[in-house]
Amino acid sequence: MTAALALRLAGVVLATFLLGGCWSIPAMEKSGLVTLLAIDQAPKDEFEVTASIDTPATSSASPGLGQMATALLRRGRGRTIVDAIAQLRLANNLVLDFTHLEAALVSESVARAGLARPLGDLTSSPEFVSTPYLLIVRDGTAQGTLEQLRLVKPRAEVLVTDTLSEARNRTPFVPRRIYELLDRVQMTGDDFTTVGVAIDKAEGGGPSTALQVSGQALFNHDRLVGWMGANATIGWVEASHQPGHFIVDVPSPTGTISLRTVASRRTIRILRSAQGPSAQIDIDLRERVAGVSGGGSAWWSHPAALKQVEQLSADKILRDVEDSLVTSKAAGADPFALGQYVRVSDPGGWPHMETRWNREGLARLPVEVRVRAHVVNVGSLLCPSFGACTEGLFKS
């Protein structure tokens, strides 16, 4: 056998091998990308899973050109979520691909029953390689929410991701992913939170496809146990040093002043006494003025008025933190990780308290909160049109 003939045969063998690998790839028209999952309770203690599926006929590289991007909805039931998805596959002629899963919408009743086992089964499957957001549906069923979103342009998953991005940038609410729940579920004293979602009520009572973030969900281990509203969530964000870019409105003598936190420092100390542990939370905020409404802007040039605005801001954040602590303690949830601070301060005594922390220890823990706020920049919004801002008032 000549060298040329051997090389030719090797090429034929290689081509045959490569083509053989392609035979298992489904045709494009038979592929379906699962972008959203809805998880609800079903009769007989089963789960019902609804999948929002994009196909080449419903997706577009330029979806803003007026194309109707209607996703397919397919359902399956089973004793576990994995069983329900298996039934969904049997009832569907598409080859489902879960690598583009953006979010799992879970009904409130399922979340209150516990999510560790059903979602653990889901993420243990090798085909679920993405890290979808976990969203709790507050009003109605998760399936009903998907049904209302299915006619969204460009597509429902785009609306969901855009809504979450808007929430992160403009509200205190913090969406979290499934793997974060499973990471924290074994840890007492540092509980998971994520956002609730609901369909906006349309004007006139008609159908709506607008999605809104509605509250911060509080978990005790893997079970949903309560909710925080906007003000309590602000307090939790500041007290637990979460990232965020939201604006806080402070009523002032001259109108409403909108402040945005540009830097913050938070310290938690555990103090011990004969009566037991107590916590002290110190929050130091650096803020800038983001807007003024309802009054003049001349206040910024007066140091005494500026100090008053700073105190009003500190007082509001203090009330919000106290609100979040009351709400969390009542629900038996510890999103501040106070239990972990207690554990570090007294590792020998923690095993005796760990099993009772959410039920008793957190509720009995005295917490003192101190907040300081400093306006370090009024920006160009309030500076004179001609001339420089007065110097010396806004040093940190």
User: Who wins on pLDDT, 391 or 148?
Assistant: 148
Q: Which domains does the chain have, with CATH numbers?
A: 30-228 (no CATH), 230-396 (3.30.300.210)
| Residue 245 DSSP code | -
pLDDT tops 50 at residue 268: yes
Q: Is residue 395 scored above 60 in pLDDT?
A: no
Q: How confident is the model at residue 382 (pLDDT cuts 50, 70, 90)?
A: low
Q: What is the pLDDT of residue 62?
A: 44
With 50 as the cut, is the pLDDT of residue 63 above it? no
DSSP one-letter string for 95-135: EEE-TT--EEEEEHHHHHH-SHHHHHHHHTSTT--S--EEE
**What tokens does 358 get?**
């959410």
Q: Which amino acid is at 294?
A: G
Distance CA 156, CA 71 (A): 8
DSSP bridge partners of 50: 38, 75
Give the integer Cα–Cα distance in Å for 375 and 260. 9
Report pLDDT for 3. 61
Residue with tokens 């569907």: 92
- From the list 217, 219, 216, 234, the residue with the least C-alpha distance to 187 is 219
For residue 97, the model assigns a pLDDT of 87
At residue 57, the pLDDT reads 58
**Using 50, 70 and 90 to split pLDDT, how confident is the model at 296?**
low
Mean pLDDT score, 339-361 = 93
Give the pLDDT score at 233.
96
List, for residues 5-48, the tens digit of each pLDDT value.
Answer: 555 555 544 444 444 444 445 554 577 889 999 999 999 999 99
| CA atoms within 13 A of residue 76's CA, in its CB half-sphere | 18
Angle between helix 142-149 and helix 156-170 axes, rounded to 10 deg = 110
Indicate if the alpha-carbon torsion angle 77, 80, 83, 88 is positive or negative: positive
pLDDT digits (tens, 9 = 90+) for 206-240: 556 689 999 999 999 999 999 999 999 999 999 99
Reported as a pLDDT band with limits 50, 70 and 90, residue 325 is very high
Query: In the structure encoding, which two tokens stand for residue 259, read together?
Result: 């402040």
pLDDT one-digit tens code per residue, 148-201: 888 777 788 999 999 999 998 889 999 999 999 998 888 899 999 999 999 987
Q: What is the pLDDT averaged over residues 83-96? A: 86
Highest mean pLDDT: which range of 16-20, 360-364, 378-382: 360-364
Distance of CA 89 to the CA centre of its chain: 29
Q: What pLDDT does residue 274 have?
A: 87
Band (68; pLDDT cuts 50, 70, 90): very low
Q: Quote the pLDDT of residue 356.
A: 94
Q: Which of 382, 364, 260, 377 is nearest to 313 (CA)?
A: 260
Residue 376's pLDDT is what? 82
Structural contact between residues 97 and 33, judged by C-beta atoms closer than 8 angstroms? yes
Taking residues 284-294, report their average pLDDT: 84
Exposed e or buried b per residue across 104-143, where buried means at least 16 C-beta atoms within 10 angstroms of its C-beta: bbbbbebbeebbeebbbbbbeeeebeeebbbbbbbeebbb
Can you give the pLDDT at residue 22?
46
Across 258-270, average pLDDT:
91
Task: Give pLDDT, residue 42.
Answer: 94
3-class state of residue 393 by DSSP? coil
- pLDDT averaged over every residue in the chain: 83
Runs of H (alpha helix) within the chain? 3-22, 81-90, 108-113, 116-123, 142-149, 156-170, 178-184, 230-240, 303-331, 338-345, 350-354, 362-364
